[in-house]
């Protein structure tokens, strides 16, 4: 590969084709859209203005964010709202040269407010289909269980979602991590595996390496979301490297939620150097100060990464994706062709 000068690296990062594998669609709701949907649906918000809401985005840890994130999602009522939210994200993803997106959604956040799971799934799914046709972004959905709720509630959510199973490819686990270990969801994940879904789980964001072991050995997930705490456990690092278990790392999220208050201290470089299949993702872009390319640019700048790291991260993102082997190869070829043609 030819060398890319430091001056041209930002353009290389912006244009390289990539997959985003860790994006909570409710976390893409910008304050402006929250206010627009609140007005459209007659929902009252505990914030006077967009600026007032933005001022509340001063997080100290995961839970301080989740409280505001769930409040923001309360404006989503109709199928069109879910469509509009997903479409706005997919347009931004397309500009960032994200050509494959695997998008998390939290049905329980909506069904708890009386919104039907059909409304949620159909709105999101229609946006994904439109994105393929109109933007060339290949987008799929992953249904997440909220881990602060019970396993029984996760089973109920799964049952309610099954009539719409052709609209999502996988199951994830998110929300408050500490105190809610993977083992709590062993039975429902076993059922999801039987049903043929891809499996992922948040683990090792704030929680200890033991939660990552649990996600691997008890839930049998194929990817770990975040996983940055694996750096504290050499045997775990070896396992992740050996089995090519991808980590969907979210640098700006980790900075904003004080996992790594200074991006310069982020473990991503060590994870890559140790041979792990690490990827860069945005998590909740409207809340954490940036979409995909903002994460790439900030991380490369803070850690002094270069074009060879960009190639590795882009390749990892497609290797880690759940698309079929033919598409995977096609996307990897696009990365190679991009690098060859970069002038």
Please give the residue ranges that form the binding site for Zn ion (CB under 5 A).
Answer: 283
Could you write out the three-class secondary structure of the chain? CCCCCCCCHHHHHHHCCEEEEEEEHHHHCCHHHHHHHHHHHCCCCCCCCHHHHHHCCCCCCHHHHHHHHHHHHHHCCCHHHHHHHHHHHHHHHHHCCEEEEEEEECHHHHHCCCCCHHHHHHHHHHHHHHHHHHHCCEEEEEEEEECCCCHHHHHHHHHHHHHHHHHCCEEEEECCCCCCCHHHHHHHHHHHHHCCCEEEEEECCCCCHHHHHHHHHCCCCCEEEECHHHHHCHHHHHHHHHCCCCEEECHHHHHHCCCCCCHHHCCHHHHHHCCCCEEECCECHHHHCCCHHHHHHHHHHHHCCCHHHHHHHHHHHHHCCCCCHHHHHHHHHHHHHHHHHCC
Q: Is 205 a catalytic residue?
A: yes
Binding residues for ligand HPA restricted to 35-54, rule: CB under 6 A: none
Residue 205 binds which one of ligand HPA, Zn ion, none, with CB within 5 to 8 A depending on kind? ligand HPA
Residue 87 binds which one of Zn ion, ligand HPA, none, with CB within 5 to 8 A depending on kind? none
Query: Exposed, middle or buried, 195 (CB in 10 Å: 0-12/13-18/19+)?
Result: exposed
Nearer to ligand HPA, 111 or 175 (CB): 175
Q: Minimum distance from CB of 60 to Zn ion (Å)?
A: 17
Binding residues for ligand HPA restricted to 219-278, rule: CB under 6 A: 253
Binding residues for ligand HPA restricted to 162-221, rule: CB under 6 A: 174-175, 202, 205
Q: Minimum distance from CB of 45 to ligand HPA (Å)?
A: 19
Residue 27 binds which one of Zn ion, ligand HPA, none, with CB within 5 to 8 A depending on kind? ligand HPA
Q: Minimum distance from CB of 39 to ligand HPA (Å)?
A: 25
Asked if 138 interacts with ligand HPA (CB under 6 A), we say no
Interface with ligand HPA (CB under 6 A), residue from 30, 81, 96, 283: 283
Q: What is the rounded CA–CA span in Å between residue 307 and residue 228?
A: 22
Choose, from 79, 102, 140, 205, the residue flagged as catalytic: 205
Q: Minimum distance from CB of 61 to ligand HPA (Å)?
A: 11
Residue 92 binds which one of ligand HPA, Zn ion, none, with CB within 5 to 8 A depending on kind? none
Q: Minimum distance from CB of 95 to Zn ion (Å)?
A: 22
The answer to whether 336 touches 17, Cβ cutoff 8 Å, is no
Q: Minimum distance from CB of 144 to ligand HPA (Å)?
A: 8
Q: What is the rounded CA–CA span in Å between residue 201 and residue 217?
A: 12
Interface with ligand HPA (CB under 6 A), residue from 16, 29, 34, 62: 62
Give the x/- contact pattern for ligand HPA in 91-110, rule: CB under 6 A: --------------------
Asked if 20 interacts with ligand HPA (CB under 6 A), we say no
Task: Count Cα neighbours of 290 within 13 Å in the Cβ-side half-sphere.
Answer: 18
Asked if 27 interacts with ligand HPA (CB under 6 A), we say yes
Asked if 24 interacts with ligand HPA (CB under 6 A), we say yes
Nearer to ligand HPA, 96 or 174 (CB): 174
The footprint of ligand HPA (CB under 6 A) covers 24, 27, 62, 69, 174-175, 202, 205, 253, 283-284
Which are the catalytic amino acids?
Answer: 205
């Amino acid at each position: 590969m030819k060398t890319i000068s430091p001056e041209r690296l930002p353009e290389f990062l912006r244009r390289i084709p990539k997959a985003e594998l860790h994006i909570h669609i409710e976390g893409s709701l910008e304050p402006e859209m929250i206010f627009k949907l609140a007005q459209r649906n007659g929902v009252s918000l505990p914030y006077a203005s967009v600026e007032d809401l933005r001022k509340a985005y001063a997080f100290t840890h995961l839970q301080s964010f989740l409280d505001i994130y769930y409040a923001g999602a309360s404006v989503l009522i109709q199928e069109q709202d879910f469509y509009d939210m997903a479409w706005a994200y997919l347009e931004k993803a397309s500009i960032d040269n994200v050509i494959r997106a695997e998008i998390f959604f939290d049905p329980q956040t909506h069904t708890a407010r009386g919104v039907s799971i059909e409304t949620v799934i159909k709105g999101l799914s229609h946006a994904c289909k439109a994105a393929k046709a109109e933007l060339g972004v290949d987008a799929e959905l992953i249904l997440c269980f909220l881990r602060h709720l019970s396993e029984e509630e996760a089973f109920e959510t799964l049952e309610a979602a099954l009539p719409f199973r052709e609209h999502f490819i996988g199951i994830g686990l998110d929300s408050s991590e500490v105190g809610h270990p993977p083992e709590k969801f062993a039975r429902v994940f076993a059922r999801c595996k039987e049903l043929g879904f891809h499996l992922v789980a948040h683990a090792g964001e704030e929680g200890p390496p033991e939660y990552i072991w649990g996600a691997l050995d008890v839930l049998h997930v194929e990817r770990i979301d975040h996983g940055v705490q694996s750096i504290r456990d050499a045997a775990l690092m070896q396992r992740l490297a050996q089995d090519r278990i991808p980590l969907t790392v979210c640098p700006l999220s980790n900075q904003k939620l004080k996992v790594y208050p200074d991006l310069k201290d982020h473990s991503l470089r060590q994870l890559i150097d140790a041979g792990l299949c690490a990827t860069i993702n945005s998590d909740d872009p409207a809340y954490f100060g940036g979409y995909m390319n903002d994460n790439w640019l900030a991380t490369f700048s803070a850690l002094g990464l270069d074009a060879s790291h960009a190639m590795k991260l882009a390749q990892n993102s497609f290797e880690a994706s759940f698309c079929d082997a033919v598409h995977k190869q096609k996307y990897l070829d696009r990365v190679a062709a991009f690098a060859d043609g970069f002038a």
